[in-house]
């Protein structure tokens, strides 16, 4: 497994500081949250995109994924969702990122499948994948797998297993991994106080079954990205991400096959 860290944990920090934190924390990758306040978003022009990519690569890092906010199952017309997703995919290609994280934001897999199929040709041509996170209305591995199976585009879609959300919705890690199976393309690691209190805490001090999930991933031979998603943007009073990264690095070392 390869360690990355999300810029969600670095509110108010610019890209150069994010790169410094990732490199200093022993990461091989940096997960870039797409938002105007991070300085990385689909509105960047060609020169700005080159600058982002060059600065990350100069530090010896890779962009593990772009953390976008498109809701692929969101109720409403298809066109705005497809347009936003295509814009994020083109940004990913320009930055050298292998995938774009999306949320379900709805519970109808037919809607999401239709939209994912619509962008599949472009995603394939760009060499990028759409990574559907276990989140909101499809928080379990079982739910995301239904969506991806209906989409039927394994070359351009994949599952992002956020270890928190399926568990807090009652799905044990073994069931999550069994459901996601060959769709699994990315993992986000974090710990939280409890299923009913998602306040972030340092790894191994909360309730998320991190050792169980890690052992399962090791047993499955998972060798992809694991990103520390420290949600300091939403919980500004928690510790800086630099204090949490050593635990994430230890988790990856412990469970790398």
- Tokens 């807090």 belong to 168
257 has a pLDDT exceeding 90: no
3-state helix, strand, coil in the chain (%, to 5): 45, 20, 30
The CATH number that applies at residue 60 is 3.20.20.150
pLDDT digits (tens, 9 = 90+) for 41-63: 999 999 999 999 999 999 999 99
DSSP letter string, 56-87: HHHTT-EEEEEEEEEETT-SS-HHHHHHHHHH
Vertex 118: Cα angle to 113 and 119 (nearest 5): 105
Q: Is 68 helix (H, G, I), strand (E, B) or coil?
A: strand
Bridge partners for 178 per DSSP = none
Show the tokens assigned to 185.
């393309």
Mean pLDDT of 53-81: 98
User: Per DSSP, what are the bridge partners of residue 200?
Assistant: 192
Going by pLDDT thresholds of 50, 70 and 90, the confidence category of residue 178 is very high
Q: How many domains does the chain have?
A: 1
**Do the Cβ atoms of 156 and 130 come closer than 8 Å?**
yes
Segment 139-151 mean pLDDT: 98
> What is the arithmetic mean of pLDDT over 27-37?
97
Per-residue exposure over 115-138, b if at least 16 CB sit within 10 Å of its own CB, e if not:
bbeebbebbeebebbbbbbbbbeb
Q: What is the pLDDT of residue 224?
A: 98
What's the rounded mean pLDDT across residues 10-25?
A: 97
CB neighbour list of residue 109: distance below 8 Å, 6 or more residues apart: 73, 138, 143, 146, 147, 150
Structural domain for 197, as ranges: 2-255
Calculate mean pLDDT across residues 173-199. Answer: 97
pLDDT at residue 36, as a whole number:
93
Could you tell me the pLDDT band of residue 151, with boundaries at 50, 70 and 90? Answer: very high
Residues written for the chain? 257
Given a cut of 80, whether residue 90 has pLDDT beyond it is yes
Check residue 5 and give its pLDDT: 98
The H or E element spanning position 31 is strand 29-33
Look at residue 54 in the predicted model and tell me its pLDDT. Answer: 98
Residue 202: its pLDDT value, please? 98
Confidence of residue 125 (pLDDT cuts 50, 70, 90): very high
pLDDT value of residue 191: 98
Q: Give mean pLDDT, residues 209-215.
A: 98
Average pLDDT of the residues in 84-113: 98
Residues 207 and 194: beta-carbon distance below 8 Å: yes
Q: What is the mean pLDDT of the chain?
A: 98
Task: State the pLDDT at residue 214.
Answer: 98
121 Cβ partners below 8 Å, 6+ apart? Answer: none
CA dihedral 223, 193, 100, 176 (to 10 degrees): 60
pTM of the model: 0.98
Q: How confident is the model at residue 27 (pLDDT cuts 50, 70, 90)?
A: very high
């Amino acid at each position: 497994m390869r360690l990355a860290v999300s810029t969600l944990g670095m509110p108010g920090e610019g890209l150069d500081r994010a790169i410094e934190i990732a490199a200093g924390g022993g990461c091989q990758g940096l997960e870039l949250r797409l938002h105007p306040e991070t300085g990385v978003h689909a509105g960047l022009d060609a020169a700005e995109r080159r600058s982002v990519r060059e600065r990350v690569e100069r530090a010896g890092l890779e962009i593990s994924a772009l953390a976008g906010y498109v809701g692929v199952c969101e109720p409403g017309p298809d066109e705005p969702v497809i347009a936003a997703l295509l814009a994020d995919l083109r940004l990913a290609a320009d930055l050298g990122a292998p995938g774009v994280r999306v949320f379900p934001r709805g519970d109808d897999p037919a809607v999401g499948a239709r939209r994912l199929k619509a962008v599949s040709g472009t995603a394939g041509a760009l060499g990028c994948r759409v990574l559907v996170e276990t989140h909101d209305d499809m928080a379990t591995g079982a739910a995301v797998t239904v969506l991806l199976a209906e989409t039927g585009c394994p070359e351009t879609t994949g599952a992002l297993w956020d270890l928190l959300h399926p568990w807090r919705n009652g799905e044990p890690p073994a069931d999550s991994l069994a459901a996601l199976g060959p769709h699994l393309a990315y993992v986000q690691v974090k710990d939280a106080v409890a299923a009913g209190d998602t306040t972030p805490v340092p790894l191994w001090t909360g309730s998320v079954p991190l050792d169980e999930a890690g052992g399962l991933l090791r047993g499955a031979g998972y060798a992809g990205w694991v990103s520390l998603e420290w949600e300091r943007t939403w919980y500004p009073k928690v510790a800086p991400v630099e204090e949490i990264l050593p635990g994430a690095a230890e988790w990856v070392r412990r469970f790398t096959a």
